[in-house]
Amino acid sequence: MTPQDNAGPGSAKAGFENVALDGATPSERISGVARWVVIGGTILSLVLVVNQLFNLQLFGLVLIEGRYLYLLGGLFLALSYLIFQIDGSKGGAPTVFDWLLFAASLVCTGYLSQNAQANLSQGWEYAAPQFAQYVSVVFFFLILEATRRAGGLVLFGIVTLFAFYPTFAGRVPDPFSGFESTFMQTVPYHIYSAESSFGIPMKAFGGVVIGFILFGAVLQRTGGGQFFNDLALGLVGGYRGGAAKVSIFASGFMGSMSGSVISNVLTTGAVSIPAMRKTGFSAKTAAATEACASTGGVLMPPIMGATAFVMASFLSRPYVEIALAAAIPSLLFYWGLFTQIDAYSARRGLKGLPRPDLPVLRQVMKDGWPYIFVFALLLFMMIGLRRETSAPFYATVLLLIVNQFRASHRLDLKRLGNMIVGVGMGLAELTAILLGVGLIVGSFSATGLAGTLVNELVFLAGDNTMVLLLMGAVTAFIFGMGMTVTACYIFLAVVLAPALEAGGLNQLAVHLFILYWGMVSYITPPVALGAFAASTMAGSNAIKTGFEAMRLGGVIYIAPFFFVLNPALIGQAPAWEVAVALTCALLGVAMISAALQGYVSLIGPIRGPLAIPARVMLFFGGLLIAKPETPVMEMGYLVSGLAGLALCALPLLMAWRARGADTAPA
Query: For the chain (length 666 residues), average pLDDT per consecutive 10?
Result: 39 34 58 90 93 82 86 95 89 90 96 92 90 96 94 86 91 81 94 89 82 80 77 81 83 68 75 84 91 85 75 84 89 92 87 79 83 84 79 88 77 84 88 88 82 66 77 77 72 81 86 87 79 83 88 89 89 88 91 91 85 92 78 60 88 82 44
pLDDT for the residue 192:
94
Break the chain into its structural domains and give their ranges.
Answer: 3-205, 251-358+448-566, 573-666
Quote the CA–CA distance of 389 and 381 in Å, as a whole number: 10
Which distant-in-sequence residues (6+ apart) come within 8 Å of 383 by Cβ? 320
* Predicted TM-score (pTM) of this structure: 0.74
Q: Name the helix (H) or strand (E) containing 424.
A: helix 413-447
Which distant-in-sequence residues (6+ apart) come within 8 Å of 603 by Cβ? 652, 655, 656, 659
653 - beta bridge partners?
none
Quote the CA–CA distance of 658 and 608 in Å, as a whole number: 10
pLDDT for the residue 243:
82
Which distant-in-sequence residues (6+ apart) come within 8 Å of 592 by Cβ? 336, 554, 555, 558, 618, 619, 622, 623, 626
pLDDT for the residue 527:
67
For β-strands 604-605 and 599-600, DSSP reports them as antiparallel
Quote the CA–CA distance of 531 and 285 in Å, as a whole number: 10
> 532 φ, ψ to 5°?
-70, -40
C-alpha closest to that of 402 among 394, 391, 410? 410
Distance of CA 219 to CAs 223, 247, 608, Å?
A: 7, 19, 51
> Around Cβ 338, how many Cβ atoms within 10 Å?
21
pLDDT for the residue 418:
86
| Whether 198 contacts 187, CB under 8 Å | no
With H, G, I as helix, E, B as strand and everything else as coil, classify residue 604.
strand
pLDDT for the residue 113:
94
